[in-house]
Amino acid sequence: MPLVSKNPATGRLIARHREHTAAQTREALASAHDAFLNWRHTSFSDRARHLTAIAATLRKQQNTLARLITAEMGKPLADARAEIEKCATCCEFYAQHAARFLKPVRPPGAPKYARVHFEPLGVILAIMPWNYPFWQLFRAAAPALMAGNTILLKHASNTSGCALAIERVFRAARAPAGLLRSALVSSKRIPDLIADERVRGVTLTGSTAAGRKVAALAGAALKTCVLELGGSDPYVILADADLDLAAEICAKARLGNAGQSCIAAKRFIVVESVLAAFTEKLTARMAARRMGNPTAKSTDFGPLARADLRDELHAQVQKSIRAGARLLLGGHLPPKNSAGAFYPATVLADVRPGMPAYDEELFGPVAAIISAKDETDALRIANDTAYGLGAALFSRNRRRALELAGEHIDAGMVFVNAQVRSDSSLPFGGIKASGLGRELGSFGITEFVNTKTLWLE
């Protein structure tokens, strides 16, 4: 069965990629495993040299790669360029810091001649999504590679062109053959890949449903895994918040990548005393953002990645309205003869439990405004979700806000007066239905290593 890439802005076919045969997949995995047997013994300085060359190649090809991202999944071109730059920066970060992160240590209180060493595991299967087709891979691959592992990439079917382009970047940078290989296969073949004894770990970014399936498979095979899954990030607006600042950040955080981000702002929980004012400001800013051709400089957000995803989002919006949500902006499908998978910036007010806009992840440009009686109620609502990825809190009392963020919000990341985002130096990941383990920072590089105790008498 071919893996189809379509331009979501036009609906036009980009390419039909032939799914790899069983023999081709075995060859890719064997190549990655053979590369590991040599790569694991290379020095950190040699690994860093290759990661730095990969970063340079990403920058050299930045415009070409950005156009491919935009064509395959609809991200505005400027955002696609920024994605490539972020990948290059991540490679350089780990090239610079990996040796220190993985330096053998003597833990406090340990016997005098005992040490803890960190050794690579082997081939890491990276199951990646379409929404950040380069960044999601590189934020997992850069630390894993610097730790001495190699990568087998199973990308989303609609971004197969990006998967092949990533392989070409490694070749152009003259990285060792097999350091990263792509397997163009459907999801049905993931169980066989996880079960293969040469695969020693699995990293997945995707839906919670996919994460549960992969976790079960990895558990059955006794393979370590990192799961970065869905989110329904709350942005809490307290009574003393700077409402103009909050509204601007919230609009940006909701509409980035057309809302197709696990850490996009999704639920806006507002204390009653400022509800009307914030709602007016947020709606105005959402309305001012321009939807359109992702290659145009004037475009703020483009289409959703696929028409079926757009239709699922619209169904969630309509179901929420039927349950009593009030539509303030957007919420309609383009005419049937319109090209592309576009969906307008949408604002729902009076959102309550039992509505998809409250209970589910809305993966698109839809803001759900939820009223809270007071600060205590707002924090309760923020935690009233199956998810626990990111969160943000807005208040002029920075010290008090930091205390609330640290002690009262259940999430892997909480930002005060700022948009939730990832940084190579800090751990990234969630709790509850948002996943297991961490990516990035010093924590991310130790997810796929053997933490080995050495004791000398």
Model pLDDT for residues 55-91, shown as the tens digit of each residue: 999 999 999 999 999 999 999 999 999 999 999 999 9
> Mind listing the pLDDT tens digit for each residue in 133-147?
999 999 999 999 999
> CA-CA distances (angstroms) from residue 307 to 209, 261, 365, 452?
20, 17, 14, 48
> Mind listing the pLDDT tens digit for each residue in 361-381?
999 999 999 999 999 999 999
> CA-CA distances (angstroms) from residue 191 to 3, 105, 210, 277, 363?
18, 36, 12, 51, 26
> Mind listing the pLDDT tens digit for each residue in 414-431?
999 999 999 999 999 999
Verify whether residue 228 is a known catalytic residue.
yes
> Does the pLDDT of residue 1 top 90, yes or no?
no
Beta-sheet strand order (sheet of 390-394): 326-329, 346-349, 366-372, 265-271, 233-237, 390-394, 413-416
Q: How many helices (H) and strands (E) does the chain have?
A: 15, 17
At 336 the pLDDT is 84
Helices (H), 147-183: 160-172
Angle at 245 between CA 244 and CA 250, to 5 degrees: 100
- CB 13, CB 339: distance < 8 Å: no
Average of per-residue pLDDT values in the chain: 97
> CA-CA distances (angstroms) from residue 442 to 101, 137, 187, 386, 446?
6, 17, 31, 27, 7
> Does the pLDDT of residue 290 top 90, yes or no?
yes
Q: How confident is the model at residue 265 (pLDDT cuts 50, 70, 90)?
A: very high
Give the integer Cα–Cα distance in Å for 278 and 243. Answer: 6
> Does the pLDDT of residue 96 top 80, yes or no?
yes
Amino acid at 456: L
Share of the chain above pLDDT 70, in %: 100
Amino acid at 120: P
Share of the chain above pLDDT 90, in %: 98
Residue 2: DSSP 8-state: P
Q: How confident is the model at residue 404 (pLDDT cuts 50, 70, 90)?
A: very high
Q: Which two tokens stand for residue 224?
A: 């370590």
Residue closest to 436 by CA, chosen among 369, 372, 379, 388: 388
At 258 the pLDDT is 98
> Mind listing the pLDDT tens digit for each residue in 229-238?
999 999 999 9
Q: How many CA atoms lie within 13 A of 203 on its CB side?
A: 28
> Mind listing the pLDDT tens digit for each residue in 9-47?
999 999 999 999 999 999 999 999 999 999 999 999 999
Of 90, 91, 262, 439, which residue is the catalytic one?
A: 262
Give the integer Cα–Cα distance in Å for 359 and 254. Answer: 17
- CB 232, CB 361: distance < 8 Å: yes
Of 92, 228, 375, 447, which residue is the catalytic one?
A: 228
Residue closest to 311 by CA, chosen among 288, 283, 290, 340: 340
Residue 144, helix vs strand vs coil: helix
Q: How confident is the model at residue 337 (pLDDT cuts 50, 70, 90)?
A: confident
Bridge partners, residue 370, by sequence? 269
- CB 121, CB 449: distance < 8 Å: yes
At 278 the pLDDT is 98
Residue 447, helix vs strand vs coil: coil
Residue closest to 402 by CA, chosen among 419, 416, 391, 420: 416
Domains and CATH numbers, the chain: 3-229+431-455 (3.40.605.10), 233-416 (3.40.309.10)
Residue 230: DSSP 8-state: -
DSSP codes joined into one string, 199-243? EEEEEEES-HHHHHHHHHHHHHTT-EEEEE----EEEEE-TTS-H
Assessment of whether the complete model's pTM goes beyond 0.75: yes
At 406 the pLDDT is 96
At 2 the pLDDT is 87
Verify whether residue 262 is a known catalytic residue.
yes
